[in-house]
Structure 1
Amino acid sequence: MADFIEELEWRGMIHDMTPGVKEQMNRELTTAYIGFDPTADSLHIGSLVQIMTLVHLQRAGHKPLALVGGATGMVGDPTGKSAERNLLSSDVLEHNLKGVKKQLERFLDFDCGDNSAEVVNNYDWFKEFSFLDFIRDVGKHITINYMLAKDSVKKRMEFGMSFTEFSYQLVQGYDYLWLYRNKGCKVQLGGSDQWGNIVTGTELIRRVEQGEAFAVTTPLIKKADGTKFGKTEGGNVWLDKDKTSPYHFYQYWLNASDEDAENYIRIFTLMNKEEIEAIIGEHRKAPHLRTLQQALAKDVTIRVHSEEDYEMAVKASAILFGKSTTEELSSIDEATLLAVFEGVPQITVSRDVLATSPDVTSFLSELTDTIIFGSKGEARRMIQGGGVSINKKKVNDPEEIVDYPLLQNKYLLAQKGKKNYYLIIID
């Protein structure tokens, strides 16, 4: 079996670990788990760090468990929060759980023998566990002093903390105990902010079962410029293409700084050390070509979405940022077209207006509510100066008839100058 800990170390994916974990992983096929929070029906790229940790675990010959927190999602993890979260209903949680499970199945092998991946839901073992049984069988083994010493608790004390959130580390600790007893799980993995919750589980196993269990945490990803990883002006970068289009997903990685991209390519791809060092070396010789970012964006986009989505994203990027033809513009699908031109002014006109338009000058001014051009004179002057295109084809004659094939039988793309785009929706 490959050395799992060694693999994570050279990739910069180890923040902390308990003594003896490397020996355990090298001694035998080991079952390890990570918990995923079902607060939405999709994971975002922050979760990719933990997904990749499970991928490396399985590739090293060990068995990954992905715990989707149907029970803990009802409580809410206080870690890193300054206020208590809204608790989710069982219906919303069930919907979210299905979405998260579906995404995890894209990365892990669930049919490969002894080290097949498995998804577990902690609601299955908590739903029949009464409160009195819990405080008797679990709560008595961990002292209040021990729980108060955890950073996730100390940081919240100044804001106030409900008993619900205070109990979270015991609930997560019991997850580990249950998986130790029922699945032979000996390692819990997670982000560095989860260290306190994880070692509560190892302590519970030691006190209740006199057993030995281990913890490994990964560093929290930080961008070189200090902004939060996985966030854009539009919010989270999601793994679900309906929440973050493959085009925007691809652009997120493509726009990474050189420093960040060198970090990301180790964490988020399965390229080996030699491949990564070769790409970084090539990039450093000509940083303006962005070889590193292109390799990163390609690898991650294909793995999270598909090769077809990646190719569509590349094509769309060329349309927006480079020279392209009407045929290339026509070849991108509607979802990508709308994603690329998200935020540009949109104007709706009827098919009758389009059909009866006397000329392109009138169409780009009066007949589109003077949004593109304030007057026919302004439109005419810019057309004569070569500064107007429709569907990436330059308009040469102010008097020509508007007779352009519609994109997706519904849209025209007008361009004024180099950077001003307008999406005309033909209703």
Structure 2
Amino acid sequence: MVGIFNELQARGLIAQSTNMERVEELLNGDKPVTFYIGFDATADSLHVGHFLQLTVMRRLQQAGHRPIALLGGGTTLVGDPTGKTDMRKMLTKEEIAHNVERFQQQMSKFVDFTDGRALVLNNADWLCKLNYLDFLRDVGVYFTVNKMLTAECFKSRMEKGLSFIEFNYMIMQSYDFLHMYDAVGCTMELGGDDQWANILGGVDLIRRVKREEAYGMTFTLLTTKEGKKMGKTESGAVWLDPEKTSPYEFFQYWRNIDDADVINCMKMLTFMPLEEIAQYEALQDREINRAKEKLAFELTKLVHSEEEAQKALEASKSLFAAGSASEHMPTTPLDQSLVQDGSVGLLDLMVMAGLTPSKGEARRLVQQGGVSVGEEKIADAQHRVSLDAFKDGFIIIKKGKKTFHKITL
């Protein structure tokens, strides 16, 4: 039987570890390991970037280990500078508390939190109670500025400016690990590969304070073959909340990814057996669309439900087959305030529907010939859609070859 560590490795998920041989031994062993992954509550929904972490938690839980989902009620007050060129927007405690509650609800779809099989903790419960002077003396003493400045998350910010509040983030995250090591026997921290420096900080802090060994491991970031992060569209992030990204839109995101990324996503994100994925890997040319449909179906089923995945699949097939309307197509009711003299501007409709983030982007798409209303391609950026065009109570705007959106009266 293949151990879970080997399964993760075979799927291309493992990037780095503080002690690869020991981590392999622990994860493949018979004794359950308590590990944690942190999620800062910077929005009111999880997104595709979090999804990989959730699937890893699920895989390890199925292998007998105990996950801790650490919600960053405290660290979100500071903001992780990792991967950011500017300081993050400061959220209020009330906004963060709301986001934490939403995260917890969404996570329960992927991880079993019943009967202590997994824990949900909020670092606000201990970070917000710390005395700053005591914290500096008891924890800050183990961190050197010289070493911290070698971390990529800080180096990349030095030219534009790194605020002092952000400089505390690594110490706070490291303290999280130490606290949970003591409180609930957490011995391993996992996270995306961009968290490597922060994870090393926690492992080193436990070694220095407790004189004991803890472990860290990072996952490969979910990127395209060109190295760009996945999970972004022209209208923003691909969310796990169906109110922010509909099941159909979620399905379409994966249905439309580049051919070169399909198999990698299957391996990293789905629970399909590797033997089955190998069969799809052999597909070429137009047949690759079968692999894309399978990927989109499996991920939509995981995030939403099999019923929603089936609806999205049927809607997608009808659109690809005939460009026809579908009851499952993303739909937006017409904002009547946009109507003037019985018509509405096409650019306004596109922004309203979330097809583009701005009228400037919408104008560019129209001028490049990438927008149709019904069966008519529109080349005039000043085009106005008459209310008479809503013959059956709706119109359909098509962006590119694969994105359809229904506007209803």
Same fold? TM cut 0.5 = yes
Is 1:189 the counterpart of 2:190? The answer is: yes
Contact 2:330 2:406 in 1 (8 A): no
Checking the alignment, whether the CA contact within 8 Å between 1:70 and 1:123 is kept in structure 2 is yes
Residue 131 of structure 1: CA displacement?
0.6
Alpha-carbon separation, structure 2, partners of 1:421 and 1:197: 42
Q: Output the CA distance in 2 between the equivalents of 1:422 and 1:30.
A: 46
CA distance, structure 2, for counterparts of residue 15 and residue 57 of structure 1: 16
1:25 equivalenced with 2:27 (yes/no): yes
1:100 aligns with 2:99: no
**Counterpart Cα distance in 1 of 2:308 and 2:197:** 39
TM-score (norm: length of structure 1): 0.77
Which amino acid counterpart does residue 23 of structure 2 have in structure 1?
V
Give the Cα–Cα distance (whole angstroms) in 2 for the partners of residues 16 and 4 of structure 1: 16
Amino acid at match of 2:200: V
Aligned alpha-carbon RMSD (Å): 3.1
- The answer to whether the Cα contact below 8 Å between 1:30 and 1:186 also exists between their aligned partners in 2 is yes
Q: Tell me, which stretches of 5 or more residues in structure 2 are unaligned? A: 347-373, 376-387
- CA deviation map 1:122-179 (0-9, x unaligned): 0011122111111111111222222222221222222221211111100000000011
Structure 1 residue aligned with 2:300: 301
What is the alpha-carbon distance in structure 2 between the residues aligned to residue 304 and residue 248 of structure 1?
Answer: 12
Residues 64-213 of structure 1 aligned to structure 2 (within 5 Å): 64-111=67-114, 116-213=117-214
Kindly indicate whether the alpha-carbon contact (under 8 Å) linking 1:42 and 1:96 is maintained by their aligned counterparts in 2. Answer: yes
Structure 2 residue 280 is matched with structure 1 residue 287: no
The TM-score, its normalising length taken from structure 2, stands at: 0.81
Query: What percentage of residue pairs aligned between the two structures are identical?
Result: 41
CA contact (8 A) 1:347 1:423 kept: no
* Map of 1:377 onto structure 2: none
Q: Residue 109 of structure 2 aligns to which amino acid in structure 1?
A: R
Contact 2:251 2:296 in 1 (8 A): yes
Verify the 8 A CA contact 1:205 1:212 in the aligned structure 2: yes
Q: Is the 8 A contact 1:2 1:60 kept in 2?
A: no
Structure 1 residues 425, 50: closer, same or farther in 2, change over 3 A?
Answer: closer
* 2:179 alignment partner, SS class: helix
**When the two structures are aligned, how many residues end up with a matched partner?**
363
1:338 corresponds in structure 2 to 331
Structure 1 residues 241 and 137: alpha-carbon distance in aligned structure 2, compared to 1, 3 A threshold:
same
Distance (whole Å) between structure 1 residues aligned to residue 157 and residue 344 of structure 2: 54
Q: In structure 1, give the amino acid aligned to 2:331.
A: L
Gaps of 5+ in 1: 349-366, 373-387, 390-401
**Is the CA contact (8 Å cut-off) linking 1:318 and 1:324 kept in structure 2?**
no
Structure 2 matches for 1:19-58, cutoff 5 A? Answer: 19=19, 20-27=22-29, 28-58=31-61
SS of residue in 2 equivalent to 1:108: coil
- For the Cα contact (< 8 Å) 1:413–1:421, is it kept in 2? no
Deviation at 1:97, TM superposition (A): 0.5
